[in-house]
Structure 1
Amino acid sequence: MKTRYSYGGDEHIFVEMDEEMSLDAFFKSLAMSNAARDAKIDGVREICPANASFQVRYDPEVIAPEDMMAKLKELEAKAENAEKRLETRIVEVPVFYQDPWTHDCVMRFRERHQDPSGTDLEYAARINGYPSVEAFIEAHHSQPWFVSMVGFVSGLPFLYQLVERDKQIEVPKYLKPRTDTPKQTVGYGGCFSCVYSVRGAGGYQMFGITPMTIFDADQKVSYLKDFMVFFKPGDIVKWKPIDRAEYDRILKAVEEGTYTPRIATVTFDLEEFNADMEGTNAKLMEALNDV
């Protein structure tokens, strides 16, 4: 893994662990960005972590660019030896697959899609070698996902599938972005799933929708009163397929302030996961059964 350092204008340095996402790259990026934060370097204004990289904003009148670069490079050896273990949480996120709202949106923007004759789910199932949409949906929700980054728009999580590389689902983004995407759409682009935290433009394939609010700027939602954004990097997600009746029930509970997401505290150890992915995933998901 070759780390790449580059300047971004006069006030930023971009540090990229790898050109492709991997859990190894994520953990190294996390370790380096945490080390940079703990170092309390004079002049640092902001540290912004991403999937396999991070960016530092600094004041060049306080610290010279070459000195800032040197200090970041000194942290790499420390990151290489950092423990790849997280005390985190696993969250159950209900998903209404093949819902009417994303389906309507899918059909309104077919001319921007690789396959105008079908749906996003049909296309994703076919190019990933699944015999049916139902089999594809099963693959999407049967194993947990790792939140590697939150951003792009406020509160939107990027989720990386916790399976062997050759089993990961991959789908391209739309040929031309949509001008509309329903709020809380569960989407997919490249190797990442996501939840659209707000309604707006988008280019990811649309698979379903969740009734669980994940961003609330007014902090009126009961479980978002402490912080307006629900997800944070390192969270683990287990999708739970639901039907229309369950969707309506949960949505009503969210609106009434009585809904509490199912959450369990877990430890994620990267070495243990790499040694036994199936067993690790089973233990992670089992933790939700006790909630």
Structure 2
Amino acid sequence: MKTRYTYGGDEHIYVEMDDEMSLDAFFKSLSMSNAVREAKIEGVTEICPANASFQVRFDPDVIAPEAMMKKVQELEHKAEDAEQRLKTRIIEIPVYYQDPWTHETLMRFRERHQDPSGTDLDYAARINGFDSAEAFIEAHHAQPWFVSMVGFVAGLPFLYQLVERDKQLQVPKYLRPRTDTPKQTVGYGGCFSCVYSVRGAGGYQMFGVTPMPIFDPEQKQSYLRDFMVFFKPGDIVKWKPIDREEYDRILAEVEADTYVPRIAEVDFDLEAFNADMPGTNAKLMEALNVA
């Protein structure tokens, strides 16, 4: 991988570890962004990590852009020695696939879609070689996902499927973005799944909805009292398919502030994962069963 450095105006430096997402690139980006943070460079005001890159914001009245660039580049050796183990958590996220709300929305915007004749799931299944939407849904929730980035919209996670690259699901975004997406929609664009943290415009394919809030600026949910954003880079997600009855039950618990997400603390070892992906995934998901 060849690291690329670019300026973003007078106040930003953008560091790209690779031009495609991979767990190796993510870990190197995480290691280097942490090194920049730990260096406590005078003038740095914010460090924003992404899938395989990060951006540093700084005050040019405190440190010149050229000097800032040099200090960041001097830390690249930290990325070469990137730690490949991560203490993190695996989280079960309930998903009501083929729900009525995303279905109503996607039907309103069919003229913006690659295939106006079907649904988003029908299209995703067909282009990925599945015989049915149900078979695609099973592939979507069967293996865990890795949160590589949180952002773009406040609290929105980008999730990368923990399978071999040639088995990853891929679905393009809408030809033209929608002006509406239900809150907590589980979507898909490119190789990333996501959860829309708020209602609004969007271009990802819509597969279902979760009753579990992941962003709460008022911090009314007990599990969001410490911080309004639920997900963190490095989190691992296991989608759990649910029906309407379970959706309504969880939603009632959310409204009563009695809902507690299923979470287990785990160690993720990149070397072990690359050596045995099915075995590593099985151990990760088993941690939820004993939590």
The normalised TM-score by structure 1 is 0.99
Residue number in structure 2 paired with 1:155: 155
Superposed CA offset, 1:125-156 (max 9, x none): 00000111111000000000000000011100
Distance 2:23 2:83 in 1: 13
Distance 1:186 1:60 in 2: 40
5+ unaligned residues in a row in structure 2: which ranges?
none
TM-aligned CA deviation for residue 176 of structure 1? 0.4
**Structure 2 counterpart of 1:148, which letter?**
S
Superposed CA offset, 1:82-121 (max 9, x none): 2111000000000000000000001000000000000000
Superposed CA offset, 1:223-257 (max 9, x none): 11111110000000000000000000000001101
Residue number in structure 2 paired with 1:17: 17
State the Cα RMSD in Å. 0.6
Q: After the TM superposition, which residues 95-134 of structure 1 pair with which residues of structure 2 at under 5 Å, given as runs? A: 95-134=95-134
Residue number in structure 1 paired with 2:195: 195
Residue number in structure 2 paired with 1:4: 4
Distance 1:153 1:192 in 2: 15
Superposed CA offset, 1:166-185 (max 9, x none): 00000000000000000000
Residue number in structure 2 paired with 1:272: 272
Which of 253-262 and 78-87 deviates more?
78-87
TM-aligned CA deviation for residue 192 of structure 1? 0.2
Residue number in structure 1 paired with 2:215: 215
**Structure 1 counterpart of 2:94, which letter?**
P
Distance 2:106 2:71 in 1: 48
**Structure 1 counterpart of 2:209, which letter?**
I
Residue number in structure 2 paired with 1:166: 166
**Structure 2 counterpart of 1:216, which letter?**
D
1:74 is aligned to 2:70:
no
Residue number in structure 2 paired with 1:65: 65
Residue number in structure 2 paired with 1:178: 178
Distance 1:161 1:213 in 2: 21
Residue number in structure 1 paired with 2:226: 226
Superposed CA offset, 1:185-213 (max 9, x none): 00000000000000000000000000000
Distance 2:57 2:258 in 1: 40
The normalised TM-score by structure 2 is 0.99
Distance 1:54 1:164 in 2: 25
1:252 is aligned to 2:242:
no
Which of 179-188 and 54-63 deviates more?
54-63
Which of 60-69 and 240-249 deviates more?
60-69
Superposed CA offset, 1:52-86 (max 9, x none): 10000111121121111111111111111121110
Q: After the TM superposition, which residues 25-64 of structure 1 pair with which residues of structure 2 at under 5 Å, given as runs? A: 25-64=25-64
Identity of aligned residues (%): 82
2:6 aligned counterpart, secondary structure:
strand
Residue number in structure 2 paired with 1:86: 86
Distance 1:164 1:261 in 2: 28
5+ unaligned residues in a row in structure 1: which ranges?
none
**Structure 2 counterpart of 1:118, which letter?**
G
Number of aligned residue pairs: give it: 291
